[in-house]
Amino acid sequence: MSLADTARKLDALDPIAHCRDEFDLDPDVVYLNGNSLGALPRAVAPRLAEVVGQQWGRRLIRGWGEGWWGAPERLGDRLAPLVGSAPGQVVVGDSTSVNLFKALVAAIRLNPGRPELLVDAATFPTDGYIAASVARLTGVRVRPVPMPEAAAEVNEHTAVLLANHVDFRSGVLHDMGAITEAAHRAGALVVWDLCHSVGALPVELDAHQVDLAVGCTYKFLNGGPGAPAFLYVPQRFQDAFDQPLSGWCGHAEPFAMTPEYTPGAGVTRGRTGTPDILSMLALDAALDVWDKTSIAEVRAKGLRLTDFFLSCVDELLGDRVTVRTPRDTGRGNHVALSVPDAGQVMKELIAREVIGDYRPPDVLRFGFAPLYVRYADALTAVEVIAGVI
């Protein structure tokens, strides 16, 4: 069977093909950058029009008492099943960087007397920047370690390990359960960055007894540019969760306007400033698609889709590229290929309406969002890559 015939057959049998209809997609573009910015869900524009025209335009400040104020916790509960969390443990707001700062400082305060913060040596740069800042403020030292060696590197000096669930360059999926268990055996806590896994594959925070986690919503969750991030604080840590950005929205009585800070109950204490309501309610609309499928179905298609893409790469590109992403199930939903002059290659692909992204020094990244990417898109992308290189 030809690759084209295989793509048509797989698309015809796709059990979540109906989800593609939930997105406003340019039919002339092959969009393989959902690992950086998700596509626009059709539900978002009318929802925002209602929020702006009616809630803000007519209800005005009354909106805060009519659903706006509780949006961070309500959206957190909508996200909870996608990260394997019980209700009441996820709060939405701020950026990933801000939430990571909160989580790392709080984790160090939860585990005092240990002088070391371990960081994934291949971490996304902002995680490293935030970790360095946290170290300067708290007096711990940062020690970078390769993620495959992290479980063995945690020791009695380690307060916290900052770990990425999926590597942002290669797409390697790290073993959350094994790494968290190893850290706990050594008396350390783990903060997980879920930016490249949430909405792409099952995440089991409660099952693995994860300590704290953060993630963004504008990639595989399609929340839109700059959509608010989220913070996970399990119930067992909520009373002791002492985060450094004690803003008024995390106060037990925010409208009492008292000079002293008293943290709110539960995960509410993870809040800081006034919620960005327009972005939050755009995310709320974007999450509606998850009522039509499950993360298990998305993961199953994601593996099949990337397997098919790799088959196309093998047949049409051969040794002209090097695959940097694992071929087994130990990967997320993006595939990394190394080619000479990768930056220029990606510019030419984008000019031909195949949109991925480039990471120095030589990596082409292609993100496969199963909710809207087809097998035919995977084949078209490889055909265009072959023409370019």
Q: What is the pLDDT of residue 1?
A: 85
Structural domain containing residue 9: 3-42+294-388
Q: What is the mean pLDDT of the chain?
A: 97
Digit-coded pLDDT (tens) for 272-315 = 999 999 999 999 999 999 999 999 999 999 999 999 999 999 99
- Is 211 one of the annotated binding-site residues? no
Q: What is the pLDDT of residue 57?
A: 98
- Is 274 one of the annotated binding-site residues? yes
Q: Residue 341: is its pLDDT beyond 90?
A: yes
Digit-coded pLDDT (tens) for 218-230 = 999 999 999 999 9
**Residue 289 located in a structural domain:** no
**Residue 313 located in a structural domain:** yes
Which of 345, 349, 350 is CA-nearest to residue 321? 345
Digit-coded pLDDT (tens) for 244-254 = 999 999 999 99
Examine the domain organization and report whether 266 and 339 are in the same domain.
Answer: no
Domain boundary among 245, 274, 303: 274
Q: Give the length of the chain.
A: 389
- 308 catalytic? Reply is no
**Residue 176 located in a structural domain:** yes
- Is 127 one of the annotated binding-site residues? yes
Examine the domain organization and report whether 239 and 309 are in the same domain.
Answer: no
Examine the domain organization and report whether 264 and 318 are in the same domain.
Answer: no
Examine the domain organization and report whether 234 and 300 are in the same domain.
Answer: no
**Residue 34 located in a structural domain:** yes
Q: What is the pLDDT of residue 114?
A: 98
Examine the domain organization and report whether 337 and 270 are in the same domain.
Answer: no
**Residue 59 located in a structural domain:** no
Q: What is the pLDDT of residue 129?
A: 98
Domain boundary among 213, 245, 274: 274
- Is 218 one of the annotated binding-site residues? yes
Q: What is the pLDDT of residue 325?
A: 95
Q: What is the pLDDT of residue 263?
A: 94
Examine the domain organization and report whether 365 and 256 are in the same domain.
Answer: no
| Cis peptide preceding 361, ω within 30 of 0 | yes
Residue 13 neighbours by CB under 8 Å, 6+ apart: none
Q: What is the pLDDT of residue 153?
A: 96
Examine the domain organization and report whether 312 and 263 are in the same domain.
Answer: no
Domain boundary among 243, 274, 305: 274
Examine the domain organization and report whether 260 and 310 are in the same domain.
Answer: no
Q: Which of 219, 269, 271, 299 is catalytic?
A: 219
Q: Which of 102, 114, 324, 365 is catalytic?
A: 365
Digit-coded pLDDT (tens) for 112-157 = 999 999 999 999 999 999 999 999 999 999 999 999 999 999 999 9
Examine the domain organization and report whether 240 and 98 are in the same domain.
Answer: yes
Rounded average pLDDT over 81-105: 98
CATH number, domain containing residue 142 = 3.40.640.10
- 218 catalytic? Reply is yes
DSSP 128: H
- Is 248 one of the annotated binding-site residues? yes
Report the number of distinct structural domains present in the chain.
2
Rounded average pLDDT over 339-347: 95
Digit-coded pLDDT (tens) for 64-74 = 999 999 999 99
- 102 catalytic? Reply is no
Q: Which of 77, 94, 193, 284 is catalytic?
A: 193
CATH number, domain containing residue 28 = 3.90.1150.10
d(CA 222, CA 41): 7
- Would you state the structure tokens that stand for residue 247, as one six-digit string? 């803003």
Q: 342 with 321: CB under 8 angstroms?
A: no
- 219 catalytic? Reply is yes
- Is 126 one of the annotated binding-site residues? yes
Examine the domain organization and report whether 257 and 301 are in the same domain.
Answer: no
Q: Which of 23, 168, 218, 308 is catalytic?
A: 218
Examine the domain organization and report whether 312 and 268 are in the same domain.
Answer: no
- 358 catalytic? Reply is no
- Is 375 one of the annotated binding-site residues? no
Examine the domain organization and report whether 184 and 269 are in the same domain.
Answer: yes
Regarding pTM above 0.95, the answer is yes
Which three-class secondary structure state does DSSP give residue 94? coil
**Residue 58 located in a structural domain:** no
How many other CB atoms sit within 10 Å of the CB of residue 367?
Answer: 26
**Residue 211 located in a structural domain:** yes
**Residue 281 located in a structural domain:** no
Q: Residue 215: is its pLDDT beyond 90?
A: yes
